[in-house]
Amino acid sequence: MASHSFTNEADEFTQISFLSNPSNLPQPTPVPKLDRSQVLAQHQALIERERAWSQSSSTETRQRKEVVGPYKPWSRRTGSRDLEFVEGLHKLRCDESAKGKALLVRIISPTVVNSISVHCVIEDNLGDVAPVQLYRLPRNTSLQDLNDRFPQSSTFVISEPTLRSSKGGFLIRIDSPADFHECLDPLNVQTNPFRNEKQNLSTPQEYALAAETYLEQGRLQAGLRSCALAMDRAWNTGKDELLASLGYLQSRALYEVGQYRSCLDGTEGAFETASNWPQATDPKGQIAKKALWLGAKAAYRIQEWDHAKGNLADLKRLQKLDGEMLELERKIGKRIEENREGSFEWEGLFDSAKEGKYSETSDYRQPSIEVREIEGKGAGVVAKSRIERGELILFEEALASAESTSLFQGHGGGSSTICVNLFTKEYDPEALGQTVSVLLEKMSGDEKVKKLVYDLSTGPAEGVLDKLRVERVKVEEDEVYDYDEEEDDPDAAPPGLDVSRVEAIVTYNSFKVRCITAQASAFDPTAKDQPKTDRLAIYNFASRFNHSCLPNVSYQFLGDRILVRAIKTIEEGEEVVLSYTDSMRGLEERRMHQEKHGFECGCRLCALDAWEGSKQREERRSLITQLEEMDEKESDDLDAYLDLLRQIDDTYATDRPTSLRSESFRPLTIFAERLARASQLAQAIEMQKRALEAVGASFAPSTEVVNSFPILGDEESVKMALRIADKYQAMGDRAKVGIWVENAKRLEDGESGGVLLERRYKDWVGDMGIKLDLR
């Protein structure tokens, strides 16, 4: 893509969108013949540039832009099935669709990564060469793994290749990794596919031995590839015992690389084959036993508890379970209980998350919720029966998660990547693109995950994606998968990986992840500028909740797991909603976010803000800004603060409930802390109680026990209660200290759960100089 200068962001998005649209490509042209030595020299220069950059002592940071949006080509065929193999590059055309065609190529260079894509050089069966750019591979893949996955001299198939003309000739751009797959036996595709091709005479046993060695060395991709080659060579031997042992070995390699679904499928095949042997072939049934055990572990990792339990039961009939097997049996029983009852060891999960450890636990979904069609909204989550405040609604592991990892220093020059999102016309952190890459990798090895992902909404991008889908049908004159068709086989998933659709799904369904263990002084909810997280995650069920600025559930994160609790009683038939945005912000800020995501909230808070008019809202925002600026300047003019607060109150309609004045929360908090510094603790407490009342709380007049709970504020409300307890402690009122610590715990019941109050806020309390017993 040629470089362009843009006068503003809008121009850049317009230009990139224009250049990305295939209908705006240059007229198709014949494929030019590239100079082999020149292409290889340019690739070697790229390798040396990247190596020099990684070894540089420079503190300079280079920034790359990664486009997220529609139009990305992909093949809906699985592998090379139903594709016509062309004789070589010369049979294709630059900047023209190659639908229905496939190209057999051989890699003739090492791979190199330049932050957003993997580069290599290929040749076709006539010796013509081309540079390749492969996108959407997880960026945490090591260079060794890449070269093991795409080794020199290996043969690959490019499904429906995309050739783009460039200043130097052309390149092959592959947006979907599923469209670049190894061909284990080129002779099955073309006769004499490559000049000077040496026939590989290695036996299945030799490949299996190599696989064992690679797995021991930790070269998992090389081990997996050797297993695939061994299986390919063994199919025609007719030796079931060989196929079973190789099937088990391949399953072991799949387990090591994290492809647990494929591993489970492989162990079932190995067990079935081994079970049909004559007893004399394997009198002790070792392959069958090992397949059952590995299958149990794989099923455990993908939360198929009954399957794992069944495997162990079958194994128990064949042998006595050892200690490791008995431990897995115990853990499976625990996971089944968690999944059924929603009973978790929250303290242990919190501690593991704080240490950055992965927690072995089950997902849980409240039986009283279901997805239904809601008039005017589409699908949403609805309560089938009454749900009490504080009840656990959902505890779910992410389908995929990632963070912005390309920015680094200390190992050469730094690199950073931003995503130019054509769906929302926003610049997103690299984490969005990385989450897409991780999700695509997972989808490629798990058809169930693929089905779940394609079932998620693409938000306002659905229109353009549907239009492109119709255009594909016209081009292909073929049936295309209907992502929304209920009559489709529920176990089936669309073939291929539609990168643009997955990018839209991640754009409109991902969550910014901030683990609740991060409660140190780095985060203060009363601060004006909050630190932004660059970690994103996408979930199956959590992505199905609709938005309301007045939610009835809250969500938190333990590691990458999302934890959803009811913050108020939810009646039967009521929609279960969470807030996508910070509801403490003004209407304009909330609407800006909603507009980019294709909806406009119609909740009571939005209705009240809209009814008051833009003039009142602008005046309120201006007054709040003045008060914040006074605070930043360390002003101690309490009368001036109080006067601004009165003016802020006057911007609200007189009949507006005090419980729905969320924008007042922060200015009241600021004034309270100024009063506390002036040793006016009683007055400070009154301001803090008013702040809580502004987000929906109420208290018993004499005891100050919370009567109704905040509907906004999340952890800010809990911390406010602890600040009030701290001030009462300074005043020597031990009874009120106890009441407000208990209030904080009850507020936390609707967040992460009251049992975690002490663990969640212990560090924050210490950093704030607050001395409270939170147990």
- On average, the pLDDT of the chain sits at 88
Identify whether 481 is part of a domain: no
pLDDT at 378: 84
pLDDT confidence band for 525 (50 / 70 / 90): very low
pLDDT at 532: 47
Identify whether 305 is part of a domain: yes
**Which DSSP state fits 411?**
S
Q: Indicate if 318 and 368 belong to the same structural domain.
A: no
Q: Indicate if 337 and 355 belong to the same structural domain.
A: no
Q: Which of 600, 622, 641 is the last residue of a domain?
A: 600
Q: Indicate if 174 and 305 belong to the same structural domain.
A: no
Give the residue with greater pLDDT, 256 vs 524: 256
Coil, helix or strand for 317? helix
Identify whether 190 is part of a domain: no
pLDDT at 410: 39
For the chain, helix, strand, coil in percent to 5 are 45, 15, 40
CATH number for the domain harbouring residue 312 = 1.25.40.10
Identify whether 26 is part of a domain: no
Interval 362-384 mean pLDDT: 93
pLDDT confidence band for 549 (50 / 70 / 90): very high
pLDDT at 2: 35
Q: Indicate if 117 and 156 belong to the same structural domain.
A: yes
CB atoms within 10 A of CB 104: 22
For residue 579, give both structure tokens.
């807030």
Q: Indicate if 290 and 384 belong to the same structural domain.
A: no
Interval 119-139 mean pLDDT: 94
Q: Are strands 169-174 and 369-374 parallel, antiparallel or unpaired?
A: unpaired
Of 83-87, 187-191, 194-198, the poorest mean pLDDT is in 194-198
Q: Does the pLDDT value for residue 281 go beyond 90?
A: no
Identify whether 486 is part of a domain: no
Q: Indicate if 355 and 443 belong to the same structural domain.
A: yes
Q: Which of 310, 341, 372 is the last residue of a domain?
A: 341
pLDDT confidence band for 443 (50 / 70 / 90): very high
Q: Indicate if 330 and 351 belong to the same structural domain.
A: no
d(C-alpha 356, C-alpha 342), whole Å: 23
pLDDT at 412: 46
CATH number for the domain harbouring residue 431 = 2.170.270.10
pTM: predicted TM-score of the whole model, two decimal places: 0.90
pLDDT at 250: 96
The tens digit of pLDDT for each residue in 697-710 reads 999 988 999 999 99
Q: Indicate if 256 and 286 belong to the same structural domain.
A: yes
Q: Does the pLDDT value for residue 745 go beyond 90?
A: yes
Q: Which of 576, 600, 624 is the last residue of a domain?
A: 600
Identify whether 451 is part of a domain: yes
Structural domain including 88 reads 32-61+83-182
**Which DSSP state fits 166?**
E
Interval 523-543 mean pLDDT: 68
From residue 544, how far is each of 161, 388, 569 by CA, in Å?
35, 21, 20
The tens digit of pLDDT for each residue in 583-636 reads 999 999 999 888 878 888 999 999 999 999 999 999 999 999 999 999 999 999
Long-range contacts of 542-546 (CB under 8 A, 24+ apart): 542/394, 542/396, 542/511, 543/456, 543/457, 543/509, 544/371, 544/379, 544/380, 544/381, 544/456, 545/380, 545/381, 545/576, 545/577, 545/578, 546/374, 546/377, 546/380, 546/381, 546/575, 546/577
Per DSSP, the chain holds a count of helices (H) and strands (E) of 24, 27
Beta partners for residue 316, in sequence order: none
CATH number for the domain harbouring residue 170 = 2.40.50.550
The tens digit of pLDDT for each residue in 644-653 reads 999 999 999 9
Identify whether 78 is part of a domain: no
What are the residues whose beta carbons fall under 8 Å from the beta carbon of 241, sequence distance 6 or more? 274, 277, 281, 282, 287
pLDDT at 319: 93
The tens digit of pLDDT for each residue in 486-502 reads 444 545 555 789 999 99
Q: Does the pLDDT value for residue 6 go beyond 50?
A: no
Q: Indicate if 335 and 252 belong to the same structural domain.
A: yes
Q: Indicate if 123 and 178 belong to the same structural domain.
A: yes
CB atoms within 10 A of CB 723: 23
Q: Indicate if 376 and 516 belong to the same structural domain.
A: yes
Interval 739-754 mean pLDDT: 95
Interval 179-183 mean pLDDT: 93
Tell how far CA 175 is from the center of its chain: 19
Q: Indicate if 293 and 235 belong to the same structural domain.
A: yes
Q: Are strands 535-538 and 546-547 parallel, antiparallel or unpaired?
A: unpaired
- In a 10 Å sphere around its CB, with 0-12 CB exposed, 13-18 middle and 19+ buried, how is residue 246 labelled? buried
Interval 39-46 mean pLDDT: 96
pLDDT at 595: 85
d(C-alpha 396, C-alpha 362), whole Å: 8
Q: Does the pLDDT value for residue 454 go beyond 90?
A: yes
Q: Are strands 129-135 and 169-174 parallel, antiparallel or unpaired?
A: parallel
Coil, helix or strand for 362? coil
Q: Does the pLDDT value for residue 7 go beyond 60?
A: no
Identity of the residue numbered 675: L
pLDDT at 194: 72
pLDDT confidence band for 293 (50 / 70 / 90): very high
Interval 12-16 mean pLDDT: 83
Q: Does the pLDDT value for residue 413 go beyond 90?
A: no
pLDDT at 485: 47
Identify whether 235 is part of a domain: yes
pLDDT at 190: 66
Interval 475-490 mean pLDDT: 47
Tell me how many domains the chain contains: 4
Q: Does the pLDDT value for residue 109 go beyond 80?
A: yes
pLDDT confidence band for 186 (50 / 70 / 90): confident
Q: Does the pLDDT value for residue 203 go beyond 50?
A: yes
Q: Does the pLDDT value for residue 4 go beyond 50?
A: no
pLDDT at 117: 92
pLDDT confidence band for 157 (50 / 70 / 90): very high
Give the residue with greater pLDDT, 774 vs 191: 774
pLDDT at 527: 46
